[in-house]
Chains A and B, each alone.
Chain A
């Protein structure tokens, strides 16, 4: 997996940060090019109050782009919803800081308590089950942070570089720009890549893509450009993409990107 440094720093506030689940999440964040920073209270105890102080201090010190925060700290009754207290403190001091909360249940009482408590509806706070897959955690963080990355890795062999407006194909030393994909074709591919980055199943409707095509029949023109993009990337990868690969036409509604299988 190509690692693309996006410079996003993610603060993890969880008394179980060394558990296998959290370690898997941290590995996935690093794959994403993000920098996970784990809050460690000085005493090493998992008392909720110490985590609260350490978390607030760490936000001031590290200036993270987002926070991953657990609702529950330890087994003590007082710490059962300690995370919600920390959440309230963070929202009050840094109302724009995105926070993804690990909950026992992503719906239900925890969430209701939080939403109806100190939060406004537009606070950048979301809730996710602690047992969600690392991929899902990353997807939620991508959306919470809300910015499109400067580069989008698609599978292991394709990279969309938004700054240089080029699509790179290959790995390591063999990576090279697919120069046929420029101008309108780059915009089409970037639109598809951005939607896929936000949500892997999201289709881009024709109405959103036809602005990047021209002529009397914009849909036909779009179809030709999609074919040329697939051919260009296929050529660089020494393969040929069929109709159900890389870019799919879904029941004549629009197109969707599917990363090539490794």
Chain B
């Protein structure tokens, strides 16, 4: 603005002050310089703003940064609460009905028990989906918490295996899990993230397994590993590259209705990589041979950095 005023006033003030030299009036120079400086400042603040916005955006690159994530999370929490509450009531009534029937064995109709089983099978699916979306939003939030805590991986795996043992048994499948070494001890990690990743992997394995799911925990001096194996039909090599894509499910290929959101593996690998690890897959779809799928999660133990007091 100051530059424009200088330029307007230059012919009037300049002629009086500098007479014949009005064309090279210093006011003209001053005005032009101020205009250029003003334009420069405007441009740099615009570019800086864009840069900051891009540097804080989420995983898939199409979000608007902090305010977007916070707002989305708030909406989701409302949605989760309003949808979760009636769902819990339904699930609670199902449990109550089952408990009443157990108290009076022999009087229950087999068809009613089948219906209760179906309600119970669907509830974890719904909750895992809700949990996946919540984690996804948190992941994409630029200020999400990455605090490392002492965690016993054996205990996390045991808890998930116990939870899914009953689910698998209802479908006529078995889960076996073990740790080598038997007492792995502590690592420094984000326990919620580990639980979330492995829950997704085990949930998938139970869904696609023929009869067996195996979960093995192992370690080396710097990392710990969780291998989730199932004896399902395996995945064709042409699809493996899409397995971790956001929203991809086997039904996409067959043009059928999706049985899940297809977010589980995408989130699992994103979380693993954010924690400094990785999630890979090894699969064989040979119908005549040893068909199987095995996911390998590797995460740093962070033992050295914690001992040295560094992160």
Contacts and interface: CB of A to CB of B under 8 A. Distances in A.
Interface in B158-188: 158-159, 161-163, 165-166, 174-178, 180, 182
Given A24-B102, A107-B192, A131-B95, A201 B166 contact: no
A143 B131 CA distance: 26
Nearest to A135: B166
A11 to B, nearest CB: 21
Interface residues of A, number: 37
Given A20-B99, A104-B88, A121-B150, A207 B180 contact: yes
B36 interface: no
Contacts of B84: 104
Given A27-B103, A136-B162, A201 B95 contact: no
B103 A121 contact: no
A107 B158 CA distance: 16
Contacts of A112: 192
Given A20-B95, A131-B88, A201-B161, A250 B176 contact: yes
A40 B150 CA distance: 37
B117 interface: no
A126 B218 CA distance: 24
**Which of B99, B192, B196 gathers the greatest number of chain A CB atoms within 10 Å?**
B99
A140 to B, nearest CB: 8
A207 B181 CA distance: 9
Given A136-B162, A136-B166, A199-B158, A107 B195 contact: yes
B161 A199 contact: yes
Given A202-B178, A253-B178, A139 B162 contact: yes
Interface string A185-206: 0000000000000111111110
A171 interface: no
A136 B159 CA distance: 9
Contacts, number: 87
A135 B99 CA distance: 12
B195 A201 contact: no
A200 B165 contact: yes
Given A131-B92, A199-B158, A202-B161, A21 B99 contact: yes
A204 B182 CA distance: 9
Given A107-B131, A107-B192, A136-B162, A20 B178 contact: no
Contacts of B123: 131
A256 B99 contact: no
Size class of the B contact interface (CB-based, 8 Å):
35 or more
B158 to A, nearest CB: 5
Contacts of B99: 20-21, 23-24
A28 to B, nearest CB: 9
A82 to B, nearest CB: 19
A199 B131 contact: no
A190 B73 CA distance: 49
Interface in B116-133: 123, 127, 131
B91 interface: yes
Contacts of B88: 104, 131
Interface class of chain B by DSSP = helix
A66 to B, nearest CB: 16
A201 B162 contact: yes
A43 interface: no
Contacts of B103: 20, 23-24, 27
Contact of B177 (A21, A122, A203): A203
A253 B178 CA distance: 9
Contacts of A130: 92
Contacts of A234: none
B92 A198 contact: no
A133 B166 contact: yes
B89 to A, nearest CB: 10
A205 to B, nearest CB: 6
Interface in A216-262: 250-251, 253-254, 256
Contact of B165 (A19, A122, A201, A205): A201
A202 B158 contact: yes
A104 B97 CA distance: 19
A208 B162 contact: no
Contacts of B174: 201
Contacts of A136: 162-163, 166
A206 to B, nearest CB: 10
Nearest to B150: A121
A245 to B, nearest CB: 13
Nearest to B196: A107
Interface of A: 19-21, 23-24, 27, 104-105, 107-108, 112, 121-122, 130-133, 135-136, 139-140, 143, 198-205, 207-208, 250-251, 253-254, 256
21 contacts: A19-B96, A21-B96, A21-B99, A23-B103, A24-B98, A121-B150, A130-B92, A135-B166, A136-B163, A136-B166, A139-B162, A143-B155, A198-B158, A200-B165, A201-B174, A201-B175, A201-B177, A202-B161, A202-B177, A208-B182, A253-B216
